[in-house]
Amino acid sequence: MSKKKSPASNSGPESIDLVATSHAPADPVSPGAAPTHQDHAHDHHEHPGPTNFLTRYVFATDHKVIGIQFLVSGLIFFIVGGLLALAVRWQLAWPWTRIPVLSSMMESQWQTKGQMPPEFYNKLFTMHASVMIFFVVIPILTGAFGNYLIPLMIGARDMAFPKLNMLSYWFMWPAFIVMLVSFTVPGGAAEAGWTAYPPLSVFRHSTPGSLNGQTLWLMGVLFAGVSSIMGSINYITTVLTLRAPGMKMFRMPMTVWSMFITALLQAFALPVLTSAIIMQLLDRTIGTNFFIPVGASVANEPGPVGGGQPLLFQHLFWFYSHPAVYIMILPAMGMVSDILSTFSRKPLFGYKPMVFAMAAIALLGFLVWGHHMFQSGMNPLLGATFMLSTMVIALPSAIKTFNWIGTLWGGSIQFTAAMLFATGFVAMFVIGGLSGIFMAATPIDIHIHDTYFIVGHLHYVLFGGSSFAIFAGLYYWFPKIFGRMLDERLGKIHFLLTFISFNCTFFLMHIIGLRGHPRRVANPYIYQFLDNPGVHFMNEFMTVSALLMGAAQLILIYNVLASLVAGKRAPDNPWRANTLEWATSSPPPHHNFATIPTVYHAAYEYSVPGEAEDFIPQTQPLANLAPSPALATSSHA
Amino acid sequence: MRYWSLLFLVTAALCVGSFVYAMFDPNWWLLHNVSVRSPLHFGAEIDRLTMLVLAITGAVFVLTMLALSWALWKYPASPGRVAQYSHGNHKLEIVWTLIPAVILVFLAFYQMGSWADIKFRSRRPKSAPLAQVTGRQFNWLVRYPGVDGKFGTTDDLHVINNLHIVKDQAVLIDLKSQDVLHSFFLPQIRLKQDAVPGMTIPVWFDVDTPGTYELVCAELCGWGHYKMRGLLTVHETQAEFNEWMTSALAEQNQTQPAGATAPDAQASDPATTATDPASSTVERS
Ligand code: HEM
Ligand SMILES: [Cu+2]
Ligand SMILES: [Cu+2]
């Protein structure tokens, strides 16, 4: 797989000036000592960062600063998206009652004594999902962690295209702005759900949010997509060309593998979403009829004459958005794999099967989009084949789960906050994966499609999965990123409360969904089969739990802010981990490494028998194992 | 701190427990299924498959959570404890690939028959459609062909938000939409099908118990989506159904002479309740 035959053959493409200064091959690392600036006075190339505030912190090209920018905006939108969700939950538990704060804010606009209008409810869940998916989970996983970690973990000084990297962040801002502004335009924000199915999303008078909000929504998603494309091109190139000497593909940590495969997914899937979005924009603005069939119309307007196909949009959308759900879980899986291995003090169980499982998920991910369309009117024959491919894609997920448990098995487990969230990820992903099998079974999906069962499934994979991994990653890499330790005790309390309230919020959704509780309804109690004490109890219980879960996040916010100011200074390698980012200072200097490190083995050499320490950084050869021939030639030790 | 493992164990137990509790509380669980003893009995078929998958996934869930909790309980860091040095195990890897693979592929093929029966166009009843059901923001417009058996003629019967059928008779419905997507969802029959403008989608089912059942719109269709509620009325006998049909036709002829167009969708709206705040933008220009 790797083009490099020996570590000496690579120090990054010479054309890129910032890596040309690396003298790694001539500068072997002595065993036992992690390299730091001081050890290498003879190799004292200065890599001063930009001194101008604007180029240093705002229009920065340093991947670390860009990573932090993605992290900060992502976490802020996490709060925004979370508050939107709490309003959704409030309405489901106590429909049409006044909502604290929100009702007072909106009172004059609603003119309903503080009751939210039904279309406002639709805006809430639409914007909640759009913000969480396009502004939080994808940007934090790939933009923040991907950006920050890829160069550090492969031993590069920066991304291959630092300017493109900067652009990829700043393209998020038009997206942020149009999405937020859309709340204030006539008709308000979009209401067609994050899936934006036409004709609802295209007819301007189908619902207030389709008047103007939908156009802004489309532009927002378009900008976010452009940002992702730029990022993915950069990540692919960086991983392929800038690995440090000795960092063969199959020595890369799972985090890097996952970011690499995710970038490939994005590069192949996003163009399809982009075209779908542009087609919908054209339908809305200049009256093309890609998605509107002859004769359909709302509000007694004349229908279009030339005809399109509503299902075409669904195909295009899910051709991107099914891979997109993997874009939201693969990086999480990679990060969790590394964290589990570090805190079990044990090599990752089945490293190569894990890589292959990920690759399989990525490939199969392009063959299952139709499972979102079983009941859409798509030919049921196609549904049968999509059922088979969907069942098959559950397989690599199962393999990964077993390997994670295999990693814990026989370890020496340290229950840090990061580890708890990583373990929580595994447990919650099991539930999300298993509920997926119900929906993959087409006959069962007839009943549970578009019910709360789906909402349960997607929150187990996206909150219990992706978001728990984000928390795990935050606790794990915070010391590296900011040079300060987070408070572990607060971290554990945060985990405990989040884990409990998460399950209380989302587990009952499976049951209520099986009963038939539809999703996206402003008042479920219109239906008699839902207007009973059992359903009321479940909805109220879920809402109270969601409020508690929101409150528990205050602990995290406090912990982050307090630690930034007064946290304990972080050592270079607080978790005694092997990967390269721990071989430099915390936080790393401007170009990451004083000297480009040389890599001697894969990332998971923990508890190697006969070694003095229970970890052996990738920069350090194994004392008791003969180095591979390729390495022997370059090792001066 | 091996006690963290208990958190996972207890959570798993509560998850299983809540399902067990739900099964015994009719206010929580699947609705009473009225497509069980009828000839097509799709509802029974879907419930049976659901329970099968629930049993399999439940067993897998319990086993993985036990393994996870056990590992956390058994292997906490403690002074002197050294982790095993192992990069994996090929045999195990093959075992835990093959077993789930067999189960998953079996599940896929096992479901195919029911899926085909319920949805494949070739399996639809050979009879003529009983009615057309058309979604239109935010009502279900039901049209019966009337005595001449043809849709679109002057003797058609138009009903809003109420579909009448006869017990144990397999009915074929032509599902349509005039504006945006809707979804025809009968939770007590476990039946769902999206209505798509520009398409006529056949839907067929039967019911074993007379009564009225709620019809849900399950696809987001605009600000009033939540109140797009209809009813399915199941008559005991064909005679009773005919009686209803005659009186409904008579009523229609009284309020609007034969030949009038379909009643305005905005007309009656049984679903709206008094507490609903009106949409602030209902009256658009
Ligand atoms: C074990 C593997 C999985 C299987 C078999 C599976 C299966 C499915 C199926 C069949 C649906 C469509 C259900 C319906 O609308 O009727 C669905 C929906 C969904 N899945 Fe999964 N899934 C799996 C894993 C994941 C993962 C890992 C994620 C994301 C991290 C994910 C996120 C979603 C989301 C967001 C939806 C809902 C989309 C929407 O309609 O809004 N799933 N899944
Ligand atoms: Cu999918
Ligand atoms: Cu609807």
pLDDT at A612 (0 to 100): 85
Distance separating alpha carbons of residues A315 and A326, to the nearest angstrom:
17
Of A556, A500, A519, A528, the C-alpha closest to A89 is A519
- Most B CBs within 10 Å: which of A503, A521, A624, as the mutation test of the B interface? A521
Same domain, B105 and B27: yes
- Most B CBs within 10 Å: which of A103, A290, A351, A514, as the mutation test of the B interface? A514
Distance separating alpha carbons of residues A224 and A172, to the nearest angstrom:
5
DSSP secondary structure code for residue A463 in this structure = I
At A286, list the tokens. 């200049």
DSSP string, B221-233: -STTGGG--EEEE
Same domain, B15 and B139: no
Q: How many CB atoms lie within 10 A of CB B37?
A: 14
Same domain, B111 and B134: no
Kindly list the protein residues whose Cβ atom lies closer than 6 A to any atom of ligand 1: A 195, 325, 328-329, 371-372, 390, 393-394, 397, 433, 436-437, 439-440, 445, 449, 454, 457-458, 461-462, 465-466
Do the strands B171-177 and B131-136 form a parallel or antiparallel pair, or are they unpaired?
A: parallel
For residue B185, the chain A residues in CB contact (below 8 A) are 450, 516, 518
B277 found inside a domain: no
B276 found inside a domain: no
pLDDT over threshold 80, residue A53: no
Q: Enumerate residues 6+ apart whose C-beta is below 8 A from A366.
A: A268, A269, A319, A322, A323
pLDDT over threshold 70, residue A134: yes
Q: What is the mean pLDDT of chain A?
A: 90
Same domain, B151 and B211: yes
The number of distinct structural domains making up chain B is 2
What would the pLDDT profile of B177-229 be if each residue is shown by its tens digit? Answer: 999 999 999 999 999 999 999 999 999 999 999 999 999 999 999 999 999 99
Which residues, in sequence order, are bridge partners of residue B135? B140, B177
Instruction: Name residue A164's amino acid.
Output: L
Cα-trace Rg, chain B: 26
Distance separating alpha carbons of residues A488 and A414, to the nearest angstrom:
12
Distance separating alpha carbons of residues A161 and A233, to the nearest angstrom:
9
Range A344-364 average pLDDT: 95
pLDDT at A303 (0 to 100): 79
Same domain, B233 and B147: yes
B283 found inside a domain: no
The Cα of A52 is separated from the nearest Cα of chain B by a number of Å equal to 47
Sheet strands side by side (includes B182-186): B162-166, B230-235, B211-217, B182-186, B191-195
Distance separating alpha carbons of residues A205 and A297, to the nearest angstrom:
9
Tell how far the Cα of A196 is from the centroid of ligand 2, in angstroms.
Answer: 16
The verdict on B202 touching A (C-beta cutoff 8 Å) is no
Backbone φ, ψ for residue A308 (5° rounding): -120, -165
B170 found inside a domain: yes
Q: What is the mean pLDDT of chain B?
A: 89
Distance separating alpha carbons of residues A168 and A590, to the nearest angstrom:
20
Same domain, B100 and B179: no
At A474, list the tokens. 């935050």
What would the pLDDT profile of A362-410 be if each residue is shown by its tens digit? Answer: 999 999 999 999 999 999 999 999 999 999 999 999 999 999 999 999 9
B97 found inside a domain: yes
CATH code (residue B211)? 2.60.40.420
Of A309, A334, A319, the C-alpha closest to A367 is A319
Residue with the bigger pLDDT between B64 and B155: it is: B64
pLDDT at A28 (0 to 100): 38
Using a pLDDT cut of 90, give the percent of chain A over it: 83
* C-alpha dihedral (B24, B28, B31, B36), degrees to nearest 10: -30
Regarding pTM above 0.95, the answer is no
Same domain, B169 and B113: no
Contact B170, B127 (CB under 8 A): yes
Q: Which CATH superfamily is domain A62-291+307-321 in?
A: Cytochrome c oxidase-like, subunit I domain (1.20.210.10)
In Å, the largest CA–CA distance within chain B is 93
pLDDT at A486 (0 to 100): 97
At A345, list the tokens. 């003090």
CA distances to A392, A428, A545, B88 from A398, rounded to whole Å, are 10, 13, 29, 16
Q: Enumerate residues 6+ apart whose C-beta is below 8 A from A628.
A: none
Per-residue confidence band for A149, with pLDDT thresholds at 50, 70 and 90: very high
B181 found inside a domain: yes
Of A98-107, B31-40, B51-60, the least confident: A98-107
Q: B138: cis peptide before it, omega within 30°?
A: yes
pLDDT at A635 (0 to 100): 37
Residue B160: give the domain boundaries.
127-265
Residue with the bigger pLDDT between A75 and A612: it is: A75
Distance separating alpha carbons of residues A206 and B182, to the nearest angstrom:
13
Range B79-89 average pLDDT: 90
Distance separating alpha carbons of residues A113 and B9, to the nearest angstrom:
46
Considering only residues 216 to 235 of chain B, which have any Cβ-Cβ distance to chain A shorter than 8 Å? 216-227, 229
What would the pLDDT profile of A249-263 be if each residue is shown by its tens digit? Answer: 999 999 999 999 999
Of B252, B245, B253, B256, the C-alpha closest to B147 is B245
pLDDT at A628 (0 to 100): 44
Distance separating alpha carbons of residues A238 and A597, to the nearest angstrom:
16
Residue contact A534–B229, C-beta within 8 A: no
Considering only residues 26 to 55 of chain B, which have any Cβ-Cβ distance to chain A shorter than 8 Å? 26-31, 45-46, 49-50, 53-54
DSSP secondary structure code for residue A7 in this structure = G
Contact A156, A244 (CB under 8 A): yes
DSSP string, A539-591: HHHHHHHHHHHHHHHHHHHHHHHHHHHHPPBPPS-TT---SGGGGS-SS--TT
Do the strands B230-235 and B162-166 form a parallel or antiparallel pair, or are they unpaired?
A: parallel
Same domain, B41 and B138: no
Q: Is A392 helix (H, G, I), strand (E, B) or coil?
A: helix
Range B93-101 average pLDDT: 95
B272 found inside a domain: no
Of B140, A440, A92, the C-alpha closest to A448 is A440
Distance separating alpha carbons of residues B15 and A291, to the nearest angstrom:
42
Do the strands B139-144 and B131-136 form a parallel or antiparallel pair, or are they unpaired?
A: antiparallel
Contact A470, A141 (CB under 8 A): yes
Of A619, A611, A632, the C-alpha closest to A39 is A619
Q: Which CATH number fits domain A329-570: 3.30.2130.10, 1.20.210.10, 1.10.10.10, 1.20.5.510?
A: 1.20.210.10
ipTM, two decimals: 0.91
DSSP string, A497-538: HHHHHHHHHHTHHHHHHHHT-BSS-S-GGGSTTT-SHHHHHH
Same domain, B140 and B238: yes
The verdict on B106 touching A (C-beta cutoff 8 Å) is no
CB pairs under 8 A between A and B: 366
Nearest ligand, CA A129: 1
Sign of the four-CA dihedral B201, B202, B208, B209: positive
Range B254-261 average pLDDT: 62
Distance separating alpha carbons of residues B84 and B156, to the nearest angstrom:
78
Same domain, B136 and B48: no
Per-residue confidence band for A624, with pLDDT thresholds at 50, 70 and 90: low
For residue A446, the chain B residues in CB contact (below 8 A) are 46, 118-119, 190-192
Sign of the four-CA dihedral A312, A314, A317, A320: negative
Q: Is A38 helix (H, G, I), strand (E, B) or coil?
A: helix
The verdict on A298 touching B (C-beta cutoff 8 Å) is yes
Same domain, B98 and B15: yes
